[in-house]
Amino acid sequence: MKSFFKQIKYALLSKQGLFFPKLADNFYTFQQEKLRGSIDDIKKRQSIYIKYIKKISKQIKNSTFLGIGFGRGEFIELLKKNKFKNIEGVDINKNYVLAARKKGLIVYHDNGLKHLYLSEKQYYGISAFHLIEHIDFSQLFDLLLICSKKLVKGGILILETPNVENIKVGSASFNLDYTHKLKLPSLLIKTLLEYLDFKKIEFLYLQPERKTIRNDVEHLVFGPQDLGVIAYK
């Protein structure tokens, strides 16, 4: 009998991990604290997107903003600070959800794609910071299609992902997060968003390693490490 139970435990160990599922959220929280940057630094970086949301103020009435995979809550806190209305977030990490609720934020513990698909709300804005590289392409396609359907006319989609056109990012730092799956160059993102009927698409090349870039080779190595995407419905 003991041998039988050991075989079951080994099957779990070899397939999905015996201990990891219980500790996955805790480890990911720990990893992000070490590698993502401080909350204040991330808020400072993300503040660049606020002006884009202010431009669509007419679309805000009677609709909601949703932060998918809100993480530590930097962006939804920024929105609240800037007095935007009806701010919500969704994340699969229970630690992030509990911490956000303690701050008085309206958040849901759920898969972002599922939450958005089942929601009956309309959204003036949807954000997904460093999320789209974590899912399979079929899931990415579905997520962006649903975003397109759920956004009000004139609404805004904000994405941010590692800039894999930077050689150091694409070959090294991208792999520091074990949950990364997709490397997404800007042209692929643009093509997909155009197919899904987004009207205007703008890219922001962010966080260069060096302020002064002297040539194309230095741009590929020391240029922007993050890629921001602004798309309008």
What's the mean pLDDT in 32-56?
A: 90
Q: Encoding tokens for residue 232? A: 């309008």
The answer to whether the beta carbons of residues 219 and 165 sit under 8 Å apart is no
Per residue in 111-131, pLDDT tens? Answer: 999 999 999 999 999 999 999
What CATH number does domain 22-232 carry, 3.40.50.150, 3.30.450.40, 3.50.40.10, 3.30.530.20? 3.40.50.150
Name the residue ranges covered by the structural domains of the chain.
22-232
Q: Encoding tokens for residue 162? A: 């590692």
Q: How far apart are CA 159 and CA 111, in angstroms?
A: 17
Per residue in 70-92, pLDDT tens? Answer: 999 999 999 999 999 999 999 99
SS3 161: strand
- pLDDT number for residue 127: 98
Angle between helices 137-150 and 186-195 (to 10 degrees): 50
Would you place residue 18 in the very low, low, confident or very high pLDDT band (cuts 50, 70, 90)? confident
What pTM was estimated for this model as a whole? 0.87
The answer to whether the beta carbons of residues 173 and 78 sit under 8 Å apart is no
- pLDDT number for residue 181: 93
Per residue in 126-182, pLDDT tens? Answer: 999 999 999 999 999 999 999 999 999 999 999 999 999 999 989 988 888 888 999
